[in-house]
Amino acid sequence: MNADNAVTQTGDDTPARPPRPAQPPADYEFFYRSQYRTMMVIAMHANATSHEADELTADTLRQMYDTWPTLSDPFAWARRALINNLMDLRREQRRRLIRQGRWVADTYQRPAEPGCLDDPATRSELLAVLTDTQRRVVELLLADRTPEEIGLILGTTPATVRRNLSNIRRRLRPYARGRIAPPAAPAAGREEAR
């Protein structure tokens, strides 16, 4: 017996799925042919690649075929199902990346090498280039704080903290690349000349 035409009963509380007809209903076939491109465009506007949009549209229309007799507004159902399928795809991709990231973190250990911020003298020379707020952000970042935590401590938004970090990187980039020697830090207790 053909598996697609068989009535399936998965348990006592699950209703049986009616068998698929040999030929799709004429109105479903018309919908399929007229709306396939539109659904692909919707998926691509929702940031799917052309390949993903094609796969998502085909999967959505397969799901739609199973529920076709019960649909009152097929296009609205198809749009919603298409976006839900895209969100499911993105969640699965994110989970896969997280699993890969954990694997990489577990298997690859960065060799311990002293950084320029480990040396207090170099750190103070580099921090002298920054503004007071940027110095405070760096100190909190070195204390293993997240941008959200730093924002709470400084009374700013995480976006402002990230912008500060970007400005810090831009300001310190010439020193990191060795093009410019960091300026000498002012001596403690020394008064500035007037």
List Cα–Cα distances, 191 to 99, 121, 186, 187, in angstroms. Answer: 55, 20, 9, 9
Instruction: Check the CA dihedral 11-17-18-23 and report its sign.
Output: negative
Task: Give yes or no for residue 102 having a pLDDT over 90.
Answer: no
Mean pLDDT over 26-40 rounds to 92
Mean pLDDT over 96-100 rounds to 81
Task: Give yes or no for residue 103 having a pLDDT over 70.
Answer: no
SS3 8: strand
How many other C-beta atoms are found inside a 10 Å radius of the C-beta of residue 81?
A: 18
Mean pLDDT of the chain: 78
Mean pLDDT over 109-137 rounds to 73
At 104 the pLDDT is 65
At 60 the pLDDT is 94
Q: Percent of the chain at pLDDT above 90?
A: 33
Contact 143, 89 (CB under 8 A): no
Contact 19, 7 (CB under 8 A): yes
SS3 17: strand
Domains and CATH numbers, the chain: 26-106 (1.10.1740), 120-176 (1.10.10)
Between residues 184 and 52, the one the model is more confident about: 52
- Distance, CA of 167 to CA of 161 (rounded, Å): 10
Query: Band of the pLDDT at 194, cuts 50, 70, 90?
Result: very low
Note the pTM of the prediction, 2 decimals. 0.45
How many other C-beta atoms are found inside a 10 Å radius of the C-beta of residue 30?
A: 11
Contacts for 108 with CB less than 8 Å, ≥ 6 apart: none
Q: Report pLDDT digits (tens) over 53-63.
A: 999 999 999 99
Q: Percent of the chain at pLDDT above 70?
A: 70
Task: Give yes or no for residue 38 having a pLDDT over 90.
Answer: yes
Listed in sequence order, the DSSP H helices in 3-25 are none
CB-neighbour burial class of residue 65 (10 A; exposed 0-12, middle 13-18, buried 19+): middle
Flag the least confident range among 42-56, 87-101, 177-191. 177-191
CA 69 from chain centre, in angstroms, equals: 37
Structure tokens at 192: 């500035």
- Distance, CA of 56 to CA of 84 (rounded, Å): 10
Mean pLDDT over 114-122 rounds to 64
Task: Give yes or no for residue 36 having a pLDDT over 90.
Answer: yes
